[in-house]
Amino acid sequence: MSLWDKLENIDSRIIYLLIWIVVLTPLISPIGLPVSISENTIAYARTIDQLPPGSMVVLSFDFGLGSLGELYPIAVATMHHLFSRPVKFAIIAIWNQGPLVAKMIIDELNPEKTYGKKYGEDWIFLGWAPGGEVAMRALGQDFWKVFPTDYLYKRSVSEYPIMQKLKSANDVALLISIETGTPGVDEWARQWGPYNVPMLIACIGVSAPGVTPYLQSGQVKGLLPGLRAGAEYELLIGRKGLAVASADALSTTHMIFLIFVVIGNISYFAKRRGIK
Give the residues lining the site for other proteins (CB under 8 A).
10, 12, 15-16, 19-20, 23, 33-36, 38-39, 64-70, 96, 99-100, 103, 129-132, 134-135, 137-138, 141-142, 145-146, 154, 186, 205, 208-210, 212-213, 215-216, 226, 228, 231, 247-248, 250-258, 260-261, 263-265, 268-269
Q: What is the DSSP letter of 186?
A: H
Residue closer to other proteins (CB basis): 118 or 269: 269
Q: Please, are residues 198 and 174 in contact by the beta-carbon 8 Å criterion?
A: yes
CB 271 within 8 A of CB 6: no
**Could you please report the per-residue DSSP string of 163-176?**
GGG-SSGGG-SEEE
Q: How far apart are CA 86 and CA 83, in angstroms?
A: 7
Phi, psi (deg, nearest 5) at residue 130: -75, 155
Beta carbon of residue 8, minimum distance to other proteins (angstroms, whole number): 8
Closest contact distance (angstroms) between CB of 4 and other proteins is 13
Which lies closer to other proteins via its Cβ, residue 54 or residue 269? 269
Taken as a whole, the chain contains a residue count of 276
Among residues 16 and 159, whose Cβ is nearest to other proteins? 16
Phi, psi angles (nearest 5°) of residue 38: -85, 165
Q: In the complex, what is the shortest distance from the CB of residue 171 to other proteins, in angstroms, rounded to a whole number?
A: 17
Smallest separation (angstroms) from other proteins to the CB of 168: 11
Q: Which residues pair with 43 in a beta bridge?
A: none
Host H or E run for residue 221: strand 220-225
| Closer Cβ to other proteins, 55 or 179, answer by number | 179
Nearer to other proteins, 78 or 191 (CB): 191
Minimum separation from the CB atom of position 261 to other proteins (A): 5
